Amino acid sequence: MKILDNLKKESVIVSAILGIIVLMFFFLFIIKPLLAKFMRLSEEERVLFARMKKARTLSTDKEKLLREVNEIEARINYYENRLPSDTDIPNVLEELIKLSKKNDITFISIEPQEIQKILIDEQEGTSFLEIPISLSLKAGYHEFAKFINDAESSNRFMAVNNIKVTNDVNYIEKHNIKLTISAFALAGKEDE
């Protein structure tokens, strides 16, 4: 019996040793490589997620920057249209005549004045031209106010100044008005 008990004990010990060897073999050659691969893939996944997040941020930033560029280009076009690089006095006069007809204004006289160069930035040499035009008009107050508003909000930058209004004793509904309207243009190299 003792031999049988010893054999049972030995078989249990051998089975335990074999089980441990199998578990070690399983751990060393199957579990450990799988864990290493899992850790490597987890790190790669983390890096890829970080890259994706950065790409999304860049994409969003790019879209935002493109919108800002489009807005800036629209503003540049707006100001380039309102501040042309020519001193085309006939076009300015044509615009004023259209506005006068629209607002029931009668021109008595139109006298273009000397063009003035106004320096904005001495270092860069940036300047613009003021194209003053003296006008004598006949108009009612309301029509004249509309004319001024239309002139200052026209397609070209214009400023109204030196306004003098006197009454006309012969025609009470219309007044004698003298003023200067200045149109503006960018100074080009030929204007230097």
pLDDT digits (tens, 9 = 90+) for 159-178: 899 999 988 777 778 889 99
Q: Confirm if 163 and 139 have CB atoms less than 8 A apart.
A: no
The pLDDT assigned to 136 comes to 92
DSSP tally for the chain: helices H, then strands E: 4, 5
- Where does the pLDDT of residue 192 fall: very low under 50, low under 70, confident under 90, or very high at 90 and above? very low
Rounded mean pLDDT of 104-129?
82
The pLDDT assigned to 1 comes to 66
Is 50 exceeded by the pLDDT of residue 49? yes
CATH 3.30.70.60 given to domain 89-191 = yes
Rounded mean pLDDT of 138-159?
88
Among 186, 190, 188, 164, residue whose Cα is nearest residue 177: 164
The pLDDT assigned to 118 comes to 81
Higher pLDDT, 126 or 56: 56
Residue spans per domain, the chain? 1-82, 89-191
* Mean pLDDT of the chain, nearest integer: 83
Q: DSSP for 129-168?
A: EEEEEEEEEEE-HHHHHHHHHHHHTSSS-EEEEEEEEEE-
The percent of residues in the chain predicted with pLDDT above 90, rounded, is 12
Task: Please state the pTM of the whole predicted model.
Answer: 0.58
